[in-house]
Homo-oligomer: A and B are copies of this chain.
Amino acid sequence: MKSLQKLRENSIKQTIEAIRKSVNEDSLINHTISNIGELDKVANLLVKRLREWFSLELPELDRSIQDHEVFIRQILEKNRNQLLKELKLTENESMGAKLEKKDHDEIVLLAKQIQQLHALRDQHISYLENVMKGYCPNMLEMCGTTIAASLIEHAGSLKRLASFPSSTVQLLGAEKALFRHLTKKSKPPKYGLIINHPIVTNADKDRKGKAARALADKISMAARLDYFKGEFKAKELKEDLERRFS
């Protein structure tokens, strides 16, 4: 009886140990890149509100500036008169009302908050880059921070990514389109997460599929080099691709 209990205690100890050791760079990368996605989503939601809210004051600014970060900077750095001048409007031509200071301040607080969310996102990206420099330098060089991290997150870990055939890497993130193809005979997808990679975006329209296939091939190699602690070869692999597709 006693030895059984001891066995049980030891097993629990070993399991706790194993769980603790399962925390590695993969989990850090996964959480960071997921959080970057969430911060983007969150900031976009709040920016929509900011634009509508500020339009009480100056609806013309919303229409004239598309970029969210520029829009926020304008609100934070300039006062009403400066903004009116830039839009070449007089007080009477604008459709906005002049709000009291206390009402305006509330909008400014929201703008500041969104700016901080953007700053946190940027901070996360540079942290991610730092982690990946040590953990998977080939992937980082090959794909850039966000695409490389998304690929690892999608696969679950660098180990799994390295074990995938390159055709799977090519379509990671396009699962919905793939199954639509398999069940409803729609066109097969050509690329998944790598759609935003410069090699694919810069390729001619009729060679995008080819570029994606070649790129996935090299990414697969980079993942394997990283996982098995091989040398740093991503630069050559990338140059090779760039020669072929641009």
| Inter-chain contacts of A96 with B (CB < 8 A) | 20, 23
Closest to A18 in B: B95
- Stretch from A106-114, A188-196, A201-209 that touches the partner: A106-114
Contact with B along A18-58 (1 / 0, CB 8 A): 01110100011001101100110110011001001100100
A207 shortest CB reach to chain B, Å? 39
Flag if B95 contacts A19 (CB, 8 Å): yes
| Inter-chain contacts of A92 with B (CB < 8 A) | 13, 16
| Inter-chain contacts of A28 with B (CB < 8 A) | 56, 99, 103
Flag if A117 contacts B113 (CB, 8 Å): yes
Flag if B127 contacts A95 (CB, 8 Å): no
Flag if A20 contacts B95 (CB, 8 Å): yes
Distance between Cα atoms of A186 and B56 in the complex (Å): 42
**Does chain B have a CB within 8 A of A97?**
yes
How many copies of the shown chain assemble into the complex? 2
Interface of A is mostly: helix
Given A20-B95, A27-B56, output 20 extra A-B contacts at Cβ < 8 Å.
A16-B93, A23-B97, A28-B56, A28-B99, A28-B103, A31-B49, A31-B53, A31-B56, A32-B106, A35-B53, A38-B46, A38-B49, A39-B46, A102-B127, A102-B130, A103-B131, A109-B123, A113-B116, A113-B117, A113-B120
Flag if B56 contacts A35 (CB, 8 Å): no
**Does chain B have a CB within 8 A of A213?**
no
**Does chain B have a CB within 8 A of A124?**
yes
Chain A interface residue count, CB cutoff 8 Å, equals 43
Distance between Cα atoms of A56 and B32 in the complex (Å): 12
Distance between Cα atoms of A100 and B24 in the complex (Å): 11
Closest to A20 in B: B97
With contacts A23-B97, A113-B120, A124-B106 taken as known, whether A52 is within 8 angstroms of B38 at the C-beta atoms is no
Distance between Cα atoms of A43 and B179 in the complex (Å): 34
Distance between Cα atoms of A116 and B109 in the complex (Å): 11
A216 shortest CB reach to chain B, Å? 29
Distance between Cα atoms of A106 and B127 in the complex (Å): 8
Q: List 20 A-B contacts (CB under 8 A).
A: A13-B92, A16-B94, A16-B95, A19-B95, A20-B96, A21-B97, A23-B56, A23-B96, A28-B103, A31-B49, A31-B56, A34-B49, A39-B46, A42-B42, A42-B46, A106-B123, A106-B124, A109-B123, A113-B117, A116-B116
